[in-house]
Amino acid sequence: MPLDTAWPEGTVHQVPYWVFQRAEVLAREQEMIFRGACWHYLCLEAEIPNAGDYRTTQLGELPVVVARDAEGVVHAFENRCAHRGALIALEDGGNTKDFTCVYHAWRYDMAGNLKGVAFRNGIAGKGGMPKDFRLEDNCPRKLRVAMFCGLVFGTLSAATPELEEYLGPEISGRIRRVLNGRTPEVLGRFTQALPNNWKLYTENVRDSYHASLLHLFFTTFEVNRLTQKGGLIVSKSGGNHVSWSAIEEGAASSEYAQQQIRSDSDYRLADPSLLHGFQEFGDSCTLQILSVFPTFVLQQIQNCIAVRQVVPRAVDRTDLHWTYLGFAEDTAEQRIMRLKQCNLVGAAGFVSMEDGCVGGFVQRGAAGASDQQAVLRMGGHDALSSDTRATEASVRGFWKAYRAATGL
């Protein structure tokens, strides 16, 4: 079915609501983004440290196995038996010598190569596979795998540029700032089921404009105000971004009071130890939200470090997977602080719970308005880095990369 694309070419400051609503759009995204020329976060190297370790994950609807072989090489392949299409691995992860499909016991090695077919030679000379059947012709599709600072990415497409080129130098540098030279440890994993199209979340992550307006918790404590020192980095492709802010002495301003917006109150914590973080980066940056097109997020909010992965489940349903991180180098006190600051994020997060519902408000609010469009004109029309966060440049950047990837 041809798409009715009433979306002027090159426009990224207006987004028609039908992109969040149509099944045929999601089908195109599955093909051109999730199975297309994009790098997708798969897991952390730290989650598969040993030979035989594996995790299962998704590139959109495509199920994937990530596994480390006996030589320590990390492979990723489609979690689909080459025989009849059943899932090869059924658990979230584990350690194994090989993978055997439960349906007819076809057996694969850690790289997804078919190694054995049950009753290949038949029984008592009858049945069995024909003579021209070759194991090596029957494998699930393999992904290209690339690793950066302990993050494992995969792509099905040969056309995807090398990972560091895809990230760009500024985004790479900001990932290094958080992860480089340390040994991540998983502190917990949670999945938040969002009642909205996946792109309403990836927009939200890139939306530096809303942060201090919707999320009152931080604003009140002057941890995150648009009047703080901060800025926005948008990659050349548009699709990757960093929004950051830093504590600056004497930066209090009356601009919030003048706007008469909700983000101003006398609210104080009974146990302020929540905000007594420690210096771990050698800079004054207390918040760094980083995204990689299409669905990866690396978050530093004070000492709360997490990766987030966005998986669409239906046009109006999305899974948001949170993996909270500490580091092997943490002291006991630092570890407690990370656990404490996990209260800031996730489904019950003081500063992020609103993001769980606000996408649903858009999904429902725009339900009868597929021919109408969202307005993204804060800070102009382009998708460039800036030294203010009172802009929607990185949201426009997402749409720039999205339009390039999907041809919509």
Partner 1 sequence: MLSEIANFQAAYARCLDDQRLEAWPDFFLADAVYRVTTADNHRRGLQAGLIWANSQAMLRDRISALREANIYERHAYRHILGLPLVEQDAAGATRAETPFIVARIMRDGTTDLFATGRYLDVFARDDAGALKLRERVVVCDSSRIDTLLAIPL
Q: Residues in the site for partner 1, rule: CB under 8 A?
A: 92, 186-195, 214, 216-217, 220, 265, 267, 269-271, 273-274, 319, 324, 335-336, 339-340, 342-343, 346-348, 350, 353-354, 356-358, 360
Q: How many angstroms from the chain centroid is the CA of residue 94?
A: 22
Which CB, 50 or 132, lies closer to partner 1? 50
Cβ atoms of 352 and 346 within 8 Å: the answer is: yes
Which CB, 80 or 182, lies closer to partner 1? 182
Q: Give the number of other CB atoms < 10 A from CB of residue 339.
A: 15
From the CB of 193, what's the least distance to partner 1, in Å?
Answer: 5
From the CB of 340, what's the least distance to partner 1, in Å?
Answer: 6
From the CB of 358, what's the least distance to partner 1, in Å?
Answer: 8
Which CB, 130 or 331, lies closer to partner 1? 331
| 73 SS3 class | coil
Cβ atoms of 234 and 385 within 8 Å: the answer is: yes
By the 10 Å C-beta count (0-12 exposed, 13-18 middle, 19+ buried), 179 is classed as: buried
Q: Where are the beta strands (DSSP E) in 280-361?
A: 285-292, 296-301, 304-314, 317-327
Which CB, 243 or 363, lies closer to partner 1? 363
Tokens matching residue 332? 């006991």
Which CB, 229 or 313, lies closer to partner 1? 313
From the CB of 215, what's the least distance to partner 1, in Å?
Answer: 8
Runs of H (alpha helix) within 253-367: 255-259, 332-341, 353-365
Q: Give the number of other CB atoms < 10 A from CB of residue 403.
A: 19
Sign of CA dihedral 401, 406, 407, 408: negative
From the CB of 198, what's the least distance to partner 1, in Å?
Answer: 15
From the CB of 317, what's the least distance to partner 1, in Å?
Answer: 10
Which CB, 184 or 397, lies closer to partner 1? 184
